[in-house]
Amino acid sequence: MNDRNDNVLAPLQRLEAHGAALGESMIIRRALPHRQRRMIGAWCFLDHFGPVLVANNDGLRVGPHPHIGLQTFTWPLEGEILHRDSLGYVQPIRPGQVNLMTAGRGISHSEESPQPHQPRLHGLQLWIALPESQRFCEPTFEHYPELPVIEHAHDRLTLLVGEYLGQRAPTRVFSPLLALDVHARAEAEIELPLARSFEHGLLVAQGSTRIDGEREALEPGQLAYIAPGRDRLVLRPQADTRLLLIGGEPFKEEIVMWWNFVARSRGEIDQATFDWNAERAFGSVSGYPGPRLQAPLPPWKISEPF
C-alpha cells in the first residue's frame, strides 16, 4: 500500500467545543478537555475566546488564581492582555507574541485587559501537562516577542512550539509537541506535513476550511482530531482563515484535572485546593484591581468538608 493510502487510513474525528465562562463576563469555546478526547499529546486544555467587542466595558478580568503541574500558553490574535504573577512579572502580550508560564509546584497569576484597551479581543489559551520529571519544578515565566514565520504565496505559518519545516520555536516545553498558527490569506490549497508519531488537533479560530476533500467544512467552535499515522493534511480554506494546529506524542501518564490544577491523584487536588483557599503555598499577585478567585471544592469533596 502506498504512502498516500496509508495517510488516508488515519482517522479524523470532529469535536464540538462547549461554552464556558472566562473571568467575570466573557464566554469562550472550550475544545479541550472534551468528553470524547481529553488530551492531544501533552496539550490538555484549549480555549478559544472572542472575537468580542470590549470597547464599552472592562474587557478581560480573571482575578488571581493558582496552577500546579502545567504550563499556560497564551496566543492573542487581536487586542492585548496584561499578565501579573506571584513571581513579580507584569507583562503585556500582543498579537504575534507568546506568554508561557510554567507552574511546576505552584504559582498564581491574573489576566486582564489594560486600561485603556483596544475595542476587540480574540485569542487562544492552552495548557500543557508537565511530565512527572518536571511537574514539581520551580515556577517560571517567559515572554516570547518573536517567533519563526514561514511565508508562502497564499499563507503564513507561525511556529509557536516545536520544530516544523526546518524551523524551531524558542518556546521551552518538556514533551515532544507542535503548535502552528496557519493564516490562509487566499482561497488556495494548503498541504501541511505531519509527524506520523504525533496525534494532532486542528481548530478554526476564524473563517472555515475543508480537510482532505471532505464536503463538510470545519467551522469556529469545532476541533478536528487526527490520530497518529498521517503524514500530511490537505486544507482548502476560505480566504482570511485562521487555524491552530497542535500535536504531540500521545501522553503516557494518567492525569487528574480539576479547576486550574493538573495532578496525578485526587489527594494532590485536595491539597492544592486547601492551600489556595487558606492563602498559603502559591504566593500573591500584586496590582490586580479586584479580588482573588476562590477555588471550588472538587466534586468528590463536596459532601466531605476539609
pLDDT in tens, 144-198: 999 999 999 999 999 999 999 999 999 999 999 999 999 999 999 999 999 999 9
Residue 33 lies in a domain: yes
Give how many domains the chain has, as a whole number: 1
Is the model's pLDDT at 3 over the cut of 50?
Answer: no
Name the least confident of 25-34, 173-182, 242-251.
25-34
The string of DSSP letters for 221-275 reads TEEEEE-TT-SEEEEEEPTTEEEEEEEESPP-S--EEETTEEESSHHHHHHHHHH
Least-confidence region, from 12-26, 68-82, 110-124, 242-256 = 12-26
Q: What is the pLDDT of residue 25?
A: 62
> For residue 290, is it within any domain?
no
Mean of the pLDDT values across residues 72-78?
A: 98
Residue 166 within a domain: yes
> What is the rounded CA–CA span in Å between residue 37 and residue 13?
10
Query: What percentage of the chain has pLDDT greater than the value 70?
Result: 94
Residue 266 included in any domain: no
CA angle 161, 203, 72 (to 5 degrees): 45
SS3 (DSSP) at 49: strand
- 52 is a domain residue: yes
C-alpha cell at 1: 500500500
* Prediction pTM value: 0.94
Q: What pLDDT score does 145 carry?
A: 98
What strand order describes the sheet that includes 199-206?
12-16, 222-226, 199-206, 241-248, 177-184, 155-161, 149-151
Quote the domain boundaries for residue 23. Answer: 3-248
Give residues with Cβ within 8 angstroms of 259, minimum separation 6: 273, 295, 296, 298
Residue 1 is predicted with a pLDDT of 37
Average pLDDT, stretch 265-288? Answer: 96
Section 257-270 average pLDDT: 97
Residue 258, number of CB atoms within 10 A of its CB = 20
